[in-house]
Each structure stands twice: as C-alpha cells, then as structure tokens.
Amino acid sequence: MPQRIVCQKCGNLLYEGQELKPPDEIIQKHDGKCPKCGKKLSYIPIDVEVKPATKS
C-alpha cells in the first residue's frame, strides 16, 4: 500500500510513494510547513491534554 501524506488544511500532496517514510522526515523536507498554504505541519497531534491524576 503506498504511503500518502497530504496537508490537513489544503489537501496539498506532500508525499506519495511505495516506500514507507517516517512522517517527520517528510515534514522536515518541507521545512515543517505546507509549501502551498503555509500551514505548520504536524503529523502527530500534540494537543493532548494532560490532567493530574485524581484520587478516588
């Protein structure tokens, strides 16, 4: 199955190929942003909420 990475905002194709590449490598190739719309690229969502453990 070919790997395909597109911009989440504008749908611009950033990488397509048979070879599986680490997403951060592709992001780095584009200087961390979409060449078309300029959106900052992040493959893994980093807006994970960290909550303090609650005592039960």
9 binds Zn ion (CB under 5 A): yes
Find the Cα–Cα–Cα–Cα dihedral 30, 19, 10, 29, rounded to 10°: 0
Quote the least distance from Cβ 42 to Zn ion, whole Å: 12
Applying CB under 5 A, among 3, 10, 21, 33 the residue interacting with Zn ion is 10
- The residue count for binding Zn ion (CB under 5 A) is 8
Hey, how many other C-beta atoms are within 10 angstroms of the C-beta on 21? 12
7 binds Zn ion (CB under 5 A): yes
Tell me whether residue 11 or residue 17 sits nearer to Zn ion (CB atom): 11
Instruction: Work out the angle at residue 40's Cα, subtended by the Cα atoms of residues 39 and 43, and round it to the nearest 5 degrees.
Output: 115
